[in-house]
Structure 1
Amino acid sequence: MVAIQTFLLFGVCLVAHAATISPVVRSRGGIFHGRYLPQFNQVLYLGVKYAPKPVRFAPAELIKDTPGQHFNVTQYGLDCKGYGSDTNLLVAANWTKMGEDCLHLNIIKPKSRETGLPVLLWIYGGGWQQGATSDPRYNMSYIVQQSVLNNKPVIGISINYRMAAFGFINSKEIAKTGNQNLGLRDQRLALKWVNRHISSFGGDPAKVTIWGESAGAYSVGDHINAFNGANEGLFRAAILESGSAIGPPLNGTDWYQHMYDNITASVGCATANDTLQCLRSVPYETIAPYGYQGLEWFHTIDGSFISRPAQQSLTSGKFAKIPLLLGTNTDEGFGVNGVNTDAQAINQLTHSKRWNLNDEQAKRLLDLYPNDPSLGEPYGWGNRTWPENGAQWKRYQSIATDLTMFAPRRLLAERMTACGEDVFSYRWDAPRFNSTPGVIGINHFSEIPFVFGNTQQQITPLGNSSANIELSKLVMRMWTSFAHGLDPNDHGVPNIAKWPRYATPAAANFVFRADTSYVERDDDRLEGVAYINSLVR
């Protein structure tokens, strides 16, 4: 009897020990020891390096294969920058969470013996100035879970990349080295790592869908246009939320020179014989506060990754032809307060860092977007105005949203459809549960809590609304069924309108709402949007 009891206890210990053994992947890249997440029945590999610490203001290099080396990948690695907008993120106490040795990715995989899983790869937004894969708003466990519940399992991947000056610096000194768009090149390197190694984790390198929101979606658009459309087999489809292949202006070196000069002066490099080399030698703690100042570090034409204005790439056919799922929110915003007169509106349109318009173009836009509150944004509010925001606030909001989001979305949808690819376009019309006070309408970022479905954390919760939770379930299943089989309609949720493929002239959007989602014609502001899409920006 004692012997039997001893055997049973020993057996229990064995079972308990087996449950705590970390999952292991052996690949030519190394031996990766991950972590099991029992509440989701998922395996996580966090902080997987795709590149060693790069030389500052220089391209990163793909990490070398070390098939016999062991890696503990159970925790997030360093952030390239914190994920919030609070400047307190740059206080000394946070330096341990940030740094330049931050080029890593995270893999979230259903615990399954299945192989050949499609991959859904997330590129975070944040204006190319901030963001991190460790941001709990981008926890991919919930969306991967829904893919499994829908019998369309995918592997979720999120990637870090350099931002602000560290990822998008430009100047005559930088141009001489050809080292612009480093953040986009980091992303491309991560895609190459995935292409090379994801099969060892059970993924299919031929079934990668790249996915982003805001600057992340603009990044996706840049990858579609990159190298004249040669996607190198790195992705087969894309999802773009509130961003497109035409994004912030492709300003030249003159635009960035004063920003570069400000950094050199701020860290004591202005008088150096080689200012770039001096900047590379400055301690990170010294240069980082200046490298992350402002919201002006954008992508630029560099002659290789980005060869020309995106509108020209789309109209000339020099882009990757792939299936798309893309859309915008009803009231994205991007206007400014205090626009009261035509003259002030023209001044904003011609002097803002975002538009790059001349006087003639600005005046034409005012003709196409009259100062009629019933036509302006936020939409659906009739003649109501908010005079404290400016007498022409609704008009300028409408122009700004169409310039930034709505018109580029339509142009990309039209061009990709014309090339014979399946395109699914949407309009998001459900508000965030805890919208920021003072924010009016269905604004930028409204869809993110629903798409990631995280009901546990407090940053952007869905609340206890059953309608919100059901909408979140629907969108997560649509996104993952698109990544799995290139059709968002395979979601398994009953009584939902079928999302039609985009087709001209009867183009349509799927409208996401918490009450009843539906399909609409994509014909809002036809003349104004057509004019915007005729401009080379």
Structure 2
Amino acid sequence: MDPDQPIDASKPESLRPTRWQFFRNLSSCAKSLILLSIAGVALLIIIAVVAFLYLPRHVPMVLLQQGTYQGVMMFRSDFNTAVEGFMGIPYAHSPLGELRFARPRPVFNSNETFKASKYGPSCPGTSLTNSSESDSSSEDCLTVNVFRPALEINEPLPVGVYFHGGGFSRGAARNHDTASMVSWAEPFIGVSFNYRLGALGFLNSEMMHEQKVLNLGLHDQVMLLDWVQQNIAAFGGDPEQVTVFGNSAGAHSIGHHLYNNKTVFHRAIMESGGPFSRALHPYNSTLNEKQFQTFMSEVNCTDIKCLRKANITNILNASDTVFSRWGPSLRWAWQPVIDGELVPGRPLENTPRNVTILTGFNTNEGSVFVPRNLSTSTEFDNFFNTLLPQLNRSTLNTTGATAPTINETVAEIYPEKEYVEWRKVGKQFRRLEAAYGQYAYSCAVRQNAAIFDNVYLYHWAVNRTVLGGASHGDQVSYEVMSNDVRRISSTQRQLARLFHGYITSFIVHGDPNGGYDDDDRPNWSQVSDRNKTMIIGLGNNERAGGSSKGVVAQLVHDTWAIDECEYWSVQSRNYED
């Protein structure tokens, strides 16, 4: 049968020639050509699969004085663009042996090649019951991570250096998805790093002062910023455009570095923190000496030589014991202290460097820190008497201040009748979380904003839970464009794009309004313009199970907690022992 002959549609289907019959009727040469073509296509597919799975792909490389580092190409399904990551690079010598409880030392030069494809271990700190941090922690933890867009860049990029939070007792660089943040932004270089925590980073006392080893965690941060100045150009970054940014303890750290001349950076973002946050004590305060002596007793040591030889498990157990005994929200252990060097004195008595600041607070900063079971006014009073024993009525009445609120107690500033608790917690919870959150975070941020000349101020108001409200650290997921929030709703995606856009525009341009193509983003003027504050997500309760979308962002004259913050601002001079 002629294969080119048209099929007669009038014949029954059973009598029509099939494709197999066509093939059988072909010449041997034609059959061979068809089979070879099929085999060739199959071979190409196999080669492509093998190449994808097994052959080397593009490996980003960077040459530093301390060695050559092989990074990794990163492209997750929730990324916008690919990112080149260099992770786990040492920025200081391992703080082991004689370098435990010592200032950090620079890394040795090397001609070797090292892999930098995964995060280094986190610095050991207070154990978290629901975290895997402790499983991957090590004293040898002083590493840095660098993320850059996988693009052809013809000029040095601005740099954003992230300081992680965690109360100076826990946390790690890996907890901040800096790679995702870079993926969704205008091109910039993202940096994150670990620093020593707990007793290993902040064992402060008279004895440690004599050894010149106070505030070691802050000294790690100084070393990291020096490393950035020396090495970031090799990654395509501009050492003359470095923005430091951080949340909570990360913001506290940045606040302290604003008052010393040991570090080089050009702009700062402080989220829920700063130099005025919580009580700042001298290194030899009664509180620090009590905590130090308890620690030494637990480790069974009397001098620093013994500490450097002590078993690390004993060190960490003692650190946890002290932290737990003084309570995470009462008299925090392992905090930076006034050392006359990195923390030269009380912020009110010193002059900070003049850089542009972006800072802000969340409505319910205290909800994750205070006990939920307090039910009486006496328990409320006892909480603050323990937290701030200096703030008793006799002390307040001798301040000489004329403002009527200043001579009142904490209980009078936060009258019980204005904080009615309707949820299934202690009747003092709402009152306590408001007072503590404003003392430790919100009002400290307002105080920061009043000190500096060029400040952009935000108020984060997106409710995440019914009990916690807009709680401490909630905004970080939006900052990094986390898919966990973007997938919730179109409004949550809009909130993420907006906050991420403001933050990254500030890193890239020094202005939250610069360069980001989003017509829905309100223009943000500085707080000096009639106390203007960008309120983000006011009335939104989608994550808390509600249906209200609220207002994504609005720039307003914000008077929230102004009177309470006036009280805490004046009393900040009485926090120290």
TM-score scaled by structure 2?
Answer: 0.78
Q: 1:372 & 1:500 partners in 2: Cα distance? A: 36
CA displacement at 1:17 relative to structure 2 = 7.8
**Closer/same/farther in 2, CA of residues 60 and 32 from structure 1, 3 Å limit:** same
CA displacement at 1:143 relative to structure 2 = 1.2
AA of the residue aligned to 1:102 = C
Q: 1:100 & 1:370 partners in 2: Cα distance? A: 43
Which residue of the other structure, out of 468, 471, 477, is the alignment partner of 1:449?
Answer: 477
Greater relative contact order (Cα < 8 A, sep 6+): 1
Q: 1:24 & 1:198 partners in 2: Cα distance? A: 13
2:533 aligned counterpart, secondary structure: strand
CA contact (8 A) 2:513 2:524 kept: yes
- Residue 63 (structure 2) pairs with residue 33 (structure 1): no
Q: Describe the superposition over 1:259-306 as per-residue Cα deviations: whole angstroms up to 9, x where unpaired.
A: 32333332332xxxx522111101223322222341411110111111
1:441 aligned counterpart, secondary structure: coil
CA displacement at 1:503 relative to structure 2 = 0.8
**Closer/same/farther in 2, CA of residues 368 and 484 from structure 1, 3 Å limit:** farther
- Residue 309 (structure 2) pairs with residue 281 (structure 1): yes
1:404 aligned counterpart, secondary structure: helix
Which residue of the other structure, out of 267, 275, 282, is the alignment partner of 1:237?
Answer: 267
Aligned to 2:114: 71
2:161 aligned counterpart, secondary structure: strand
**Closer/same/farther in 2, CA of residues 335 and 79 from structure 1, 3 Å limit:** closer
Q: 1:119 & 1:373 partners in 2: Cα distance? A: 48
Task: Map 1:431-446 onto structure 2 (within 5 A).
Answer: 431-432=463-464, 435=465, 439-446=467-474
CA contact (8 A) 1:194 1:205 kept: yes
CA displacement at 1:21 relative to structure 2 = 3.7
Aligned to 2:352: 319
CA contact (8 A) 1:143 1:477 kept: no
1:20 aligned counterpart, secondary structure: coil
Aligned to 2:217: 183
CA contact (8 A) 2:126 2:319 kept: no
CA contact (8 A) 2:86 2:145 kept: yes
Q: 2:424 & 2:74 partners in 1: Cα distance? A: 51
CA contact (8 A) 2:243 2:507 kept: yes
Q: 1:75 & 1:82 partners in 2: Cα distance? A: 21
Q: 2:277 & 2:63 partners in 1: Cα distance? A: 40
AA of the residue aligned to 2:495 = L
CA contact (8 A) 1:23 1:33 kept: yes
AA of the residue aligned to 2:508 = H
Which residue of the other structure, out of 56, 61, 72, is the alignment partner of 2:100?
Answer: 56
Q: 1:337 & 1:53 partners in 2: Cα distance? A: 41
Task: Map 1:104-183 onto structure 2 (within 5 A).
Answer: 104-114=143-153, 115-135=155-175, 138-147=176-185, 152-183=186-217
Between the two proteins, what is the percent identity of the paired residues?
A: 24
- Residue 140 (structure 2) pairs with residue 101 (structure 1): yes
CA displacement at 1:88 relative to structure 2 = 7.5
Task: Map 1:73-92 onto structure 2 (within 5 A).
Answer: 73-81=116-124, 85-86=128-129
CA displacement at 1:397 relative to structure 2 = 3.0
Moved more, 318-327 or 392-401: 392-401
Aligned to 2:503: 479
Q: 1:258 & 1:452 partners in 2: Cα distance? A: 40
CA contact (8 A) 2:148 2:188 kept: yes
Task: Map 1:195-274 onto structure 2 (within 5 A).
Answer: 195-225=229-259, 227=260, 230=261, 232=263, 234-252=264-282, 253=284, 254-269=286-301, 274=302
Q: 1:520 & 1:529 partners in 2: Cα distance? A: 18
Q: 1:341 & 1:78 partners in 2: Cα distance? A: 44
AA of the residue aligned to 2:442 = F
**Closer/same/farther in 2, CA of residues 451 and 365 from structure 1, 3 Å limit:** farther
CA displacement at 1:367 relative to structure 2 = 7.2
AA of the residue aligned to 2:431 = R
CA displacement at 1:363 relative to structure 2 = 6.0
For the aligned residue pairs, the C-alpha RMSD in angstroms reads: 3.0
CA displacement at 1:398 relative to structure 2 = 2.7
TM-score scaled by structure 1?
Answer: 0.83
Q: 1:495 & 1:389 partners in 2: Cα distance? A: 41
Gaps of 5+ in 1: 377-382
Aligned to 2:554: 518
- Residue 510 (structure 2) pairs with residue 497 (structure 1): no
CA displacement at 1:493 relative to structure 2 = 1.8
Q: 1:279 & 1:127 partners in 2: Cα distance? A: 23
CA displacement at 1:447 relative to structure 2 = 1.2
CA displacement at 1:49 relative to structure 2 = 0.5
CA displacement at 1:32 relative to structure 2 = 1.2
Q: 1:83 & 1:23 partners in 2: Cα distance? A: 35
Q: Describe the superposition over 1:46-102 as per-residue Cα deviations: whole angstroms up to 9, x where unpaired.
A: 001000112111111122333x232211111111037972177687xx2xx211110
How many residues are aligned here?
490
Q: Describe the superposition over 1:397-426 as per-residue Cα deviations: whole angstroms up to 9, x where unpaired.
A: 332222111222112112212xxx3x1100
Q: 1:370 & 1:531 partners in 2: Cα distance? A: 11
Aligned to 1:379: none
Q: 2:424 & 2:45 partners in 1: Cα distance? A: 75
1:134 aligned counterpart, secondary structure: helix
Gaps of 5+ in 2: 1-32, 397-405, 541-548
Q: 1:158 & 1:400 partners in 2: Cα distance? A: 29
Larger Rg: 2
CA displacement at 1:386 relative to structure 2 = 4.7
Q: 1:10 & 1:462 partners in 2: Cα distance? A: 38
Q: 1:442 & 1:15 partners in 2: Cα distance? A: 45
Q: 2:345 & 2:448 partners in 1: Cα distance? A: 16
